[in-house]
Amino acid sequence: MHTVAMQTMWSGNPCGLTVTETSPDSYTTGENWEFYDDDHVAEIADSMRAHGWRGAPLVVVPEYGLSYNGTHRLRAAAEAELEVPTVALRDLFAACGLDLDAICDEHDLGLMSDRADIVAHLPEDVREAYTLADIED
């Protein structure tokens, strides 16, 4: 795993977070939301082979090996043999002036089981920029 200046088609990093590239095998999207479309994964992998990673990095919880978003992109990156740009969920909350642990404690939320409720605490523009807006548990 290493920190990089991200070379993608992503239009911005509104929170100014450090982006780390890592193997797609380092993360899973969780057993409760493992649905994916093989054809869609293949299309994304073909695009990644031709153009590299495009778009926002995945938002991850490194201590659990969990990616909060990007089920298809994560699988496609593995298929295309590309590293995955990531930002840590905890860093994203801190950049917004929020304490992830305090929010989880106050609202009795689990990092693994309450993704939608957790990301709802982030400002809408941040959820949009980091592709978290459509998360459903």
Walk along the chain (137 residues) and give the pLDDT tens digit of each residue.
443 434 344 556 778 888 899 999 999 886 555 567 889 999 999 999 999 998 889 999 999 898 998 888 999 999 999 999 999 999 999 999 999 999 999 999 998 889 999 999 999 999 999 999 888 76
What domain count does the chain have? 1
Determine contact, residues 44/73, Cβ cutoff 8 Å.
yes
Q: Does some domain include residue 71?
A: yes
Task: Please give the model's pTM, rounded to 2 decimal places.
Answer: 0.85
Residue 55 lies in a domain: yes
Per the domain annotation, does 136 fall within a domain? no
Inside any domain, residue 135: no
Return the closest-CA partner of residue 130 out of 100, 101, 87. Answer: 87
Say how far residue 106 (Cα) sits from the centre of its chain: 24
CATH number at residue 41: 3.90.1530
* Residue 25 lies in domain: 2-129
